[in-house]
Structure 1
Amino acid sequence: MAVIVVTGTGTEVGKTVVTAALAAVARTQGLDVAVVKPAQTGVGRREEGDVDEVRRLVGDVAVFELARYPEPLAPATAARRAGMDAVRPQEVVEAVEKLAGEHDLVLVEGAGGLLVRLDEDGGTLADVARLLGAPVLVVAAAGLGTLNATALTGEALRARELEQLGVVVGSWPGEPDLAARCNLADLPEAAGAPLLGAVPAGGGTPASAEVPARAGTWARALPRGSRAAGLFPRHPL
């Protein structure tokens, strides 16, 4: 079963574009890809969510959203305030396992960070990864403050004995400041995992809809032995 869980060091760090990049390069390698968003928050019933953005950027990819809540809050909180059922880790696992039997690769994009609550019992994306036995890709911000958030995420993964594939900077600025430039060297030590690459800022804008052609230049190869190895060839940074 080939599954990768994509998490972030927080919100708005570029998880969706990184997920799209993974899906795009996998598609160029002939893999049949499904993308799952366990819980979408802050989006109305008829508005487009993260999986719609992935489909816009990638094209021919199966996308699934398991739960949607209108307020931009943690999934457990958003579900409670909306009077709706929360999505539980085991429900996510069952959906992903079914899709894994139908697709070569399933990408699971979380909401916010690794330990954001999915339900009132404290279930998290980390629990989803543990139950699936799936590796985790961490998407981090570029600038000041990212080292601490990345280190905490890496520590949480190791404490749960979860495999961390590495870190991708989700939005690399066109004119990086000193902190961002230094972070390229410091992020691997903070994460306890390799820096796999960086997505240029604006990588998910309509003007950059050629994601399938460009995504392979955004990062280095994933570890050998993974069925998804080589999704990210070496990037130019």
Structure 2
Amino acid sequence: MPVLVVTGTGTGVGKTVVTAAVAALATGRTAVLKPAQTGVGPGDPGDVDEIARLVPGVGVHELARYPDPLAPATAAARAGRDPVTAADAASCVRHLAADHDLVLVEGAGGLLVRLAGADTLADVAALLRAPVLVVAAAGLGTLNHAALTVEALRVRGLTCVGVVIGAWPAAPGLAERCNLVDLPVVTGVPLLGAVPEGAGALAAAEFTEVARHSLAAALGGGWQTPDP
């Protein structure tokens, strides 16, 4: 199936913006699934709403949302509601894949954050036999977090297509510049882009152009690793 799972090395690293950037450069009909949204109340805009604004015409889907900003399994329990299982998410993806050329699945937090019981986003990827794109932070600490995430995928027999930096600063420091070289070395997978910090605030047309310059050819763009 034409499916790509998008995970992060943690919370707040830019998963939603990177997912939108991949969707903006995709050809054909594209759908985005957020299995579980947390920290957002009924009627409030969530991650899929941000993607819909940045990429008009993309199909966006959300299976459940819970008000507390916690891991989905914990947030569902606190809300007294059923959690979204890995099987639930995989079933929805299969349904969407029948009518779309690409389905992007955006996780919540990091790869091993619990969706329901022991289910994680890694289980969703395993059920779908789908490759995974890792979104990482730009600065100090990201080498360890990215390496651990890619190792967790590898141990589970899952394919990691690469890493994208989710919020590249306008004035990168020494650590950020060195990470451009070190991330592919420590993870063993390619660095596939660096989306500028603040890109999520752009209008749709400008966002698409930024995406084109921020993602590598493997994701439909023209980005190349700059000199550190």
Normalising by the smaller structure, the TM-score range is over 0.9
Aligned to 1:33: 30
Letter in 2 for 1:193: V
Letter in 2 for 1:97: R
Aligned residue runs from structure 1 range 24-173, under 5 A: 24-26=24-26, 29=27, 31-120=28-117, 122-173=118-169
Deviation, structure 1 residue 209 = 5.5
Cα pair 2:55 2:204 within 8 Å, conserved: no
- Tell me the TM-score normalised to structure 2 length: 0.96
Instruction: Work out the CA distance in 2 between the residues paired with 1:118 and 1:181.
Output: 34
Instruction: Work out the CA distance in 2 between the residues paired with 1:180 and 1:154.
Output: 19
Identity of matched residues, %: 63
- The structure with the largest strand share of the pair is 2
Give the unaligned 5+ runs of structure 1.
223-229
Cα pair 1:41 1:71 within 8 Å, conserved: yes
Give the unaligned 5+ runs of structure 2.
none
- Tell me the TM-score normalised to structure 1 length: 0.93
Instruction: Work out the CA distance in 1 between the residues paired with 2:140 and 2:177.
Output: 10
Question: Could you give the per-residue CA deviations for residues 26-47 of structure 1, whole angstroms, max 9, x where no partner exists?
Answer: 1xx3x10000000000001010
Instruction: Work out the CA distance in 2 between the residues paired with 1:25 and 1:207.
Output: 15
Aligned residue runs from structure 1 range 195-234, under 5 A: 195-206=191-202, 210-222=206-218, 230-234=219-223
* RMSD between aligned residues: 1.2
Cα pair 1:39 1:68 within 8 Å, conserved: yes
Instruction: Work out the CA distance in 2 between the residues paired with 1:153 and 1:81.
Output: 27
Question: Could you give the per-residue CA deviations for residues 119-143 of structure 1, whole angstroms, max 9, x where no partner exists?
Answer: 12x1000000000000000000000
Instruction: Work out the CA distance in 1 between the residues paired with 2:85 and 2:159.
Output: 22
Instruction: Work out the CA distance in 2 between the residues paired with 1:180 and 1:117.
Output: 30
Question: Could you give the per-residue CA deviations for residues 96-135 of structure 1, whole angstroms, max 9, x where no partner exists?
Answer: 0000001000000000000000012x10000000000000
**How many positions carry a matched residue from both structures?**
226
Instruction: Work out the CA distance in 2 between the residues paired with 1:22 and 1:235.
Output: 16
Deviation, structure 1 residue 189 = 1.6
Deviation, structure 1 residue 219 = 2.0
Letter in 2 for 1:6: V
